[in-house]
Amino acid sequence: MLATVFLFSVMNTMIKELSADYPINQIVFFRSAFALIPVGIAVALNPVGLRDLRTARPWGHLWRGLFGGMAMVLSFLSFALLPLGEAVALNFAAPLFLTALSVPLLAEKVGVHRWSAVAVGFVGVLVMARPGADVLNLGALVALAAAFFQALAMIMVRQLGRSESPNATVTYFTLLTTILCGGTLPFWWRTPDNGHDLWLLIGCGLIGGVAQLLMTRAYMAAPASVIAPFNYTSILWAVLLGWLLWSEVPTTHVIAGAAVVVASGLYILYRETVRRVPITRPAIPGDD
């Protein structure tokens, strides 16, 4: 899981670098299209092969793809609009949205402990975004919208997980986002200026695909209650890489708000474990 978080952090850094010069739909296309290579290898190495991709819920995969694709587009856009550490921290609101949405969409019972954690977590979001201040800009709203759609996507993953294999869920999502973003390329496309940019575009897909597979393996090897908290180490990598590459230093209100949001997410995870509710991992920006 630590390797997963590190690779996703590297991928996010590459995406932020690319977003200054290339349209987001093009970046998402490369991210999805070249992720099909490691994902396809994983399917080929599976003893059951293509049979693992059989599905009785094509519409479920379609909705998961639409929600996840929107989350990816908005998340990548937030990297372009905000310092990397702040964008990642705001995306940690996804588990808060997930808990709130699980009541009307999954008919789950959420007790006072988790509702309190959600409320406290959104206070942390407000601390980071500071409504009414100059920093409540388009970037903060885009990052929160990405977290919202990520929560919707994970609700679909919960539902699909009852009957679908992990390989099927990942493969159909990656294939769908490739097709959808590929259809937009004639309208928004910029030919890479040099080999360096081309390799960054290809690399974000390959690295993202490998990270997906490692994450799947991590959740197969240990309980989610053990694995999921390591997702929050992504904020450390985001701050470090943002500082090294762009001299980005998180402000005090971002650090304080992120600490509150992380603590709330961990408490929700703890309460779900205690109540034996199926656990959905906290969101990683750029994760499928």
pLDDT at 128 over 90: no
| Contact in structure between 159 and 103 (CB atoms under 8 Å) | no
Q: What percentage of the chain carries pLDDT values higher than 90?
A: 39
| Contact in structure between 111 and 276 (CB atoms under 8 Å) | no
Q: What percentage of the chain carries pLDDT values higher than 70?
A: 91
| pLDDT band at residue 251 under the 50/70/90 scheme | confident
pLDDT at 278 over 70: no
Across all residues in the chain, what is the average pLDDT?
86
pLDDT at 39 over 50: yes
Domain coordinates of the chain in residue numbers? 2-274
| pLDDT for 52 | 83
- Rounded to an integer, the average pLDDT of 32-56 is 88
| pLDDT for 135 | 47
- Name the one residue in this structure whose structure tokens are 């290339």: 22
| pLDDT band at residue 279 under the 50/70/90 scheme | very low
Output the CA torsion 146→9→217→269 (10° steps): -50
Instruction: Report the distance separating Cα 12 and Cα 284, nearest Å.
Output: 10
Which are the contacts of 233, defined by CB distance < 8 A and separation ≥ 6?
2, 5
| Burial environment of residue 113 by CB neighbours within 10 A (0 to 12, 13 to 18, 19 or more) | middle
| pLDDT for 139 | 86
130-169 burial code (b ≥16 CB/10 A, e <16): eeeeebeeebbebbbbbbbbbbbbbbbbbbbeeebbbbbb
| pLDDT band at residue 132 under the 50/70/90 scheme | low
| pLDDT for 136 | 55
